[in-house]
Structure 1
Amino acid sequence: MPDLSNSNALALLVTRNFPPLLGGMEKVNQHLLGALQPVWRTALCGPAGCAQYAPPQTDVQQSRVKPLPLFLATTLWRATRFAWRRKPEWVIAGSGLTAPIVWLAARCAGGRAAVYLHGLDIIAPSRLYQWLWLPFIRRCDLAIVNSANTAKLARSRGVPFANTHVLHPGTDLPTLDAEAARDFRQRNSFGERPLLLSVGRLTQRKGLAEFVAKSLPSIASHRSDVLLMVIGDEASDALHTRTGSERERILAAAQIHGVEQNLCFLGRCDDASLSAAYQAANIHVFPVLELPGDVEGFGMVALESAAHGLPTMAFAVGGVPDAVLDGYTGILIEPGNYVALADAVTRQLTLARENDIVAACRDFAAHKAWPVFAERLRSLLDSHRA
């Protein structure tokens, strides 16, 4: 356990990735900040609106998210001024984007700098970023990474091996509710149709358009009533998105390949509806793409799926193998092999959601629950104290 004797120690989190913005990185940083409080008093320099999502008694500085240069400049000023005055022991970057700010703020405070790396923030395809940001990431006293693949990417970019530690994102472990699952199906008029579930912001990297074009027709040829439920909105706040609507690309792929009747967009759901969807579904599909200059750092939705007892069929891309225990909580497929993915989904649909599968999924998730994440984070920071 970390030493709790220094109750006046302060930790400052500096990040753009925090609610009210949506996404896995935002969820991780919210839990990261909460995990600090048993040991450190907390402060946050984050996006406008973040104060209502921060833990109680957190000192919050907020900056407009857009345009990005304004956010960075404003946050640099506020973080360094705060650090100079309040002398935090740790200054933590919620992603590589704020690593230069954190390094400078830590030097102002005479403290230590840490960065939580998610994957894309290491390999971002920008010469300016690679030239300016990466040196500060390398200089941080501690680099926390979300998967073994992200650790590999960090080390390939010169982040010191001794300073790099894997800390998987966590998950909640909900109480299963069969009645909620039945109500979800009834409310959406799904009946007993076999349900495939995709969860997450609609981005090219998630690979849904390709899955709909290359796998869903084969699955539907075996189960004509199969339905792919897509939960999530367009990624309007993401830094790396292509122009146009990803939803329209997915829908166009379904129309071209004659599976429009096998596709349903549910948009963004509240937590209760999302939990019910996980429990109502037969399979979670995660057909992530390998894209130049982009990477799936971990795959939190696969872990959340396991927490609900739902297996995941996924391509073994990026950090996804850290989130899916192959053969137990799902099946990992060679990236880009849509025939094998369709076959795996089709075979899984012939199986009932057996208790042993549910138990294996939930046991895996329990070992990566948020309390485990919090204890591991505090231990890492405590072990790297000056």
Structure 2
Amino acid sequence: MRHQILRSSLAAIAASLAVPALAVEETFETEGPSIRVETIANGLSHPWALAFMPDGSMLVTERNGNLRHVSDKVSEPIAGVPDVDARGQGGLLDVALDPQFEENRLVYLSFAEAGEGGNSTAVARGVLSEDLTRLDNVEVIFSQKPKVQSQQHFGSRLVFDNDGYLFITLGERSQAQFREQAQQLNSHLGKIVRIRPDGTVPDDNPFVNQADALPEIWSYGHRNVQAAAINPESGVLWEIEHGPRGGDELNIVQPGANYGWPIVTLGINYDGTTIGEGVEHQEGMVDAIRTWTPVIAPSGMMFYQGEVFPDWKGNLFVGGLASTALVRLTVDGDNISGEERLLESLGLRIRDVAEGPDGAIYVITDEDDGEVLRISQDAG
């Protein structure tokens, strides 16, 4: 009954939102089922992430600093969001609900935070009011160190694991003078960190007892991770990070592991020069299980578990910015056995992807007039 109510709620959103004539409403053939793609919300300014509420509505971030509630309409900005440094790639980024949201109403936001020395990625949480108009008791629970002068590579995805710990993916801030810090354990740049929901550090983090290491660090040697999700079969975090010019990579994240950047990479600098010594493998550093050259520019990912697309159950879906595609990957254990690119003909930058409570697939587009698109089986 609950799923029927959620399906009805999401269908009402799609039917009742007023959208312009240019909104998407198309059917596409795939290697599997025919799919129907429709706009259910638009007018969003470079939306970055979406998170579903228990009733099937959603929270959507806009990079300029607005958090909005999307139901049968797009709300006014929700009050209480922290100030964000909305320059370049920075701004308001990911949004996630606490695993106990129905009891505590906690919402988590990642964002570019200005401060002494420049800026960095931070994570705040607050209590969403019952009328959905504001966040109360907002507190910053994590702030990346050090802050530097850069407008690039903030990460950042927020992922809760099955034990309720929070993973935060972090960029290495792009510029050559900072990127070496991805290999240094006294810096959060180029890391994935793991904390408790209140910001404290779990006792079993891999570097918690190492004097020269920041205890939040879970893994290192990352470039700019903007796609991450827990594999439901293994309970392990998977991530996809942007390569430079070539070399986007999909990694299975293990505690304490080194993923190589900037020593190991399949890409090159944007000016065509070699990065470091051009090493593609090195002992003690973990190789990706899949790479892309040319890049897809990955952002947002999810393992599909719904019933709307039974043939796609267990598949991994990844948003593609440069590829203007929703990338579907067939997962075989710890390997990828196939790939299909969906929605390419729309020419839209896919920033995030999520499975709705109704089993449909939802994506958001990184555009001046950004949209929420719903993907379902074509009934025709």
TM-score (norm 2): 0.26
The structure in which a higher percent of residues are helix is: 1
TM-score (norm 1): 0.26
The structure in which a higher percent of residues are strand is: 2
